[in-house]
Structure 1
Amino acid sequence: MQTRPIFITDDAIADTVAAHWLPEVVEVEYLPWGFGAHHWRVTGGGTTLFGTLDQLAPRHTAASLEAAYAGAAALADDGLNMVCAPLPSRDGRFTVDAGAGVLSTTPWLDGRSPTEAEARKPRHVREVIDALTTLHRAAPPDTLPSWTPRIGPEFADDLRARTNRPWRSGPLGESARTVLAARHDVIKSWISRYLELAGVAFDHRDRWVPTHGEPHGANQVMGACGLKLVDWESLALAPRERDYVDLFEAAADHSVALDPAMIELFALDWRLSEIAEYARWFAAPHTGTDDDHTALEDLYAELEVADSGSDE
């Protein structure tokens, strides 16, 4: 996130890391990176760690995050070099309750995420596809979570009820409410199609594989470390198309056979999950930070498909 959290201090992060991973913490720096979780660089004793604070409900539970991060560590132990896995704490767990969320750490990587132009280059796309192919062929760790639909059939009617009243929760509340209310019918049609396709996916669970969930450029690091996939909080057993929504056309160019219906499912999974998250965001108190404005732009982007007349 670009905005420093007000619910936890750098000192609290330093104390938690010192207690569970790195006893000689001497420096902690908040990193205004990414969108969704909060990140810090923590240094001490000649070691640098990357700390991530994930908040829980509604997307996660403490148990689901622990299972995902433990699964990533198991995959790395099995030789999947593209996995930047979380580090075990002193008690062997990969997540620690930090009060305001769940904290995890990974080694600090000497590299950077690709630019949009770099991410489209054929050589880089080939590397990503090779990494995903290796992941999808891996034996699933025993504790690996399974994908389930994040949006239920009641969401559209619940959203309509909520958007029938003004959102005086902050400066952007009414803008979000208005655009959501205007798209109610198309959101309801998306949910119907989404749940239909989810049923098809569950009919073929024997084909599910370990999937990263969000292997886009922001979750890739390249450099001296080679290509690494980071941010494994969404790791789950699922149809492999879950990892190819943004790479569908490129995958065809590289002879990767994919089911278009499953691509549609996970495009809807992302879109509807984002809509639900932003509905919660703007119905709740907010102050108009840079993150709030980014979230509103993202909400508009997810709903732009409705303006084109699509009812996927």
Structure 2
Amino acid sequence: MEQRPEDFDDHRLTGALREWGIDAAETGYLPVGFGDHHWSVTGADGRRYFTTLSDLAYKEYCGPTPDAAFAGLRDAMDTAVELGERGLGFVVAPLRTGDGRSTVRVGGRYALAVFPHTPGAAGRFDGERSTEEQERVLDLLAELHRQPPPARTPRTSLQPHGRDRLAAALEETGTPWRGGPFAEPARELIAACADALRDRLADFDRLAAEVERRGAAQVVTHGEPHPGNLMDDGSALRLVDWDTAGLAVPERDLSGFGTDPALFARYTERTGHAPDPAALALYPLRWNLGEVAEYLGWFRAPHTRTRDTEQGWRGLTETVHHLATTPVPLP
């Protein structure tokens, strides 16, 4: 997020870092990403770290309540830790605290994870990838998907998170929304695209029924292996942001690469799994519907105009317009 959380300052951060035995000499807020808050930290011994502070009230994909979200987040981070300890060098896993925890609850609202400084540059969320880059990432995913699942790996839901919220919003566009400056614009946007959004929900249900009918085996998935979550130091790729790790069909990770079977030839050779066209179509739709539901939860609740809510408004409008204008391939 671009803006710091109002109730969590650097002093509170340095206190929490003692759980890892880190005596922070320097901290700096990093206005990067969307959803979590990040700081760079340099310890008194000169070691560098990257920290992630998660607001558990906005971690619905990990759990519907702050307590459930913390449990789900902890299990996802524990999964990354175990994968890293197995020797998967591309997994940027959180560091353990002195008593072995991957994630620490800070008050009732937040959870903190600490990562080693990772060299390299991340791509953009919507960045284009060359064929060579796609093959490199697919090789990583093939290795990940062949792993026996760690015991704590969360199970993912096929349904988009917040679907009930989206369905309710579609039925409630006839009365004003009063959460803040983006509430009424959000209502008008949803009202204008309501028929298309209902069609996309129906498309989703048809695809989900087909995927469930085929019953493919589930594997450990990262959840969001887009360019923004890949660090490239010129010699190796590493995957960051494992809070979405979970058990799912492989297409949860593969759907961002398109539907051309030729692209997955080496992946299929390494894993024995030929991607299912229905699942490849399902997961981008699931992502977009979940994004709309998340933004609506934000804008129907009390909020103000900030750089982050402005970015969220752009995200909502782009995603709704994409859903309204882009046909869903139904195999």
Q: TM (normalized to structure 2)?
A: 0.86
Q: Distance in 1 between matches of 2:204 and 2:124?
A: 31
Question: Which residue number corresponds to residue 186 of structure 1?
Answer: 196
Q: Distance in 2 between matches of 1:205 and 1:14?
A: 47
Instruction: Give SS of 1:110's match.
Output: coil
Q: Distance in 1 between matches of 2:21 and 2:235?
A: 22
Match of 1:222 among 210, 232, 243: 232
Q: Give the conservation status (yes or no) of the 8 Å contact 1:14–1:42.
A: no
Match of 1:304, as an amino acid?
H
Match of 1:262, as an amino acid?
A
Q: Distance in 2 between matches of 1:112 and 1:309?
A: 31
> What CA deviation, in whole Å up to 9, does each residue of 1:8-35 have, x standing for no partner?
11211111012x1133211111100011
- Structure 1 residue 252, shift from structure 2 partner: 3.2
Distance 1:4 1:216, change over 3 A: same
Question: Which residue number corresponds to residue 31 of structure 2?
Answer: 32
Q: Distance in 1 between matches of 2:105 and 2:173?
A: 34
Match of 1:59 among 52, 56, 61: 61
- Structure 1 residue 109, shift from structure 2 partner: 0.6
- Structure 1 residue 59, shift from structure 2 partner: 3.0
Q: Does 1:270 align with 2:287?
A: yes
- Structure 1 residue 308, shift from structure 2 partner: 2.3
Q: Give the conservation status (yes or no) of the 8 Å contact 1:244–1:251.
A: no
Q: Distance in 2 between matches of 1:105 and 1:199?
A: 39
Distance 1:38 1:115, change over 3 A: closer
- Structure 1 residue 217, shift from structure 2 partner: 0.8
Q: Distance in 2 between matches of 1:46 and 1:198?
A: 50
Q: Does 1:260 align with 2:253?
A: no
Question: Which residue number corresponds to residue 291 of structure 1?
Answer: 308
Compare 109-118 and 68-77 and name the one that shifted more: 109-118
**How many residues are paired up?**
311
Match of 2:281, as an amino acid?
E
Match of 1:29, as an amino acid?
G
Instruction: Give SS of 1:52's match.
Output: strand
Distance 1:250 1:78, change over 3 A: farther
> What CA deviation, in whole Å up to 9, does each residue of 1:216-250 have, x standing for no partner?
01101110672100000000111111112221257
Ranges in structure 2 where 5+ consecutive residues have no aligned partner: 63-68, 268-273
Match of 1:147 among 138, 151, 156: 156
- Structure 1 residue 96, shift from structure 2 partner: 0.7
Q: Distance in 1 between matches of 2:261 and 2:306?
A: 38
> What CA deviation, in whole Å up to 9, does each residue of 1:117-146 have, x standing for no partner?
985122222211111111111111111111
Q: Does 1:88 align with 2:96?
A: yes
Distance 1:54 1:201, change over 3 A: farther
Q: How does 1:1-312 map to 2 (within 5 A)?
A: 1-18=1-18, 20-44=19-43, 45-57=45-57, 58-60=60-62, 61-99=69-107, 100-114=109-123, 119-148=128-157, 149-151=159-161, 154-205=164-215, 207-223=217-233, 226-249=236-259, 252-255=262-265, 256=267, 257-308=274-325, 310=327
Q: Distance in 2 between matches of 1:190 and 1:13?
A: 42
RMSD (Å) for aligned C-alpha atoms: 2.3
Q: Distance in 1 between matches of 2:125 and 2:241?
A: 18
- Structure 1 residue 164, shift from structure 2 partner: 2.9
Match of 1:176, as an amino acid?
A
Q: Distance in 2 between matches of 1:165 and 1:223?
A: 52
- Structure 1 residue 251, shift from structure 2 partner: 6.5
Match of 1:70, as an amino acid?
D
Ranges in structure 1 where 5+ consecutive residues have no aligned partner: none
Distance 1:286 1:116, change over 3 A: closer
- Structure 1 residue 51, shift from structure 2 partner: 0.6
Compare 243-252 and 71-80 and name the one that shifted more: 243-252
- Structure 1 residue 189, shift from structure 2 partner: 2.6
- Structure 1 residue 168, shift from structure 2 partner: 2.9
